[in-house]
Amino acid sequence: MHKIFLNLLPPELKNIASDLYDIILERSLTRTYQNLDEQTKAKMADIFNSGADGEKNAFLNEYLKDLPAIMAEEAKKLAEEIKTKE
C-alpha cells in the first residue's frame, strides 16, 4: 500500500518520503540491534552484508518481531523533532 501512496506523490516528495523512511528504518534497526546478544549481532551483520533479501526477511521475522512497533515509535519521535524545528 505504501508504494501505491508513493506513486501518487510528485517526484520531489517521493524522494523526501523515501529519505524519511530510510531515517526511521536506520534508527529502528540501530535501537533493535543494541538489544541483541553478541552472537545474534554477528549473525545479523553477516546476513545484512550478504545482500540476500530472503535471508534478511527471515532474520527480521525471527529476531526483530517488534520492529514494526519500534518503527512506529521512531516515526513519532522524528515527527516531533521536525515539529519542534519549525
- pLDDT score at 72: 95
- DSSP assignments along the chain, one per residue: -HHHHHHHS-HHHHHHHHHHHHHHHHHHHHHHHHTS-HHHHHHHHHHHHHT-HHHHHHHHHHH-TTHHHHHHHHHHHHHHHHHHH-
- pLDDT score at 1: 44
Top mean pLDDT of 3-7, 14-18, 23-27, 45-49 is at: 23-27
- pLDDT score at 48: 86
Residue 11: φ, ψ to 5°: -50, -40
Q: Which of these, 33, 28, 34, lies nearest to 73 by C-alpha position?
A: 28
State mean pLDDT over 3-15. 81
- pLDDT score at 74: 96
| Interval 24-73: pLDDT, tens | 999 998 998 898 999 999 998 899 898 788 998 899 889 888 889 999 99
- pLDDT score at 3: 65
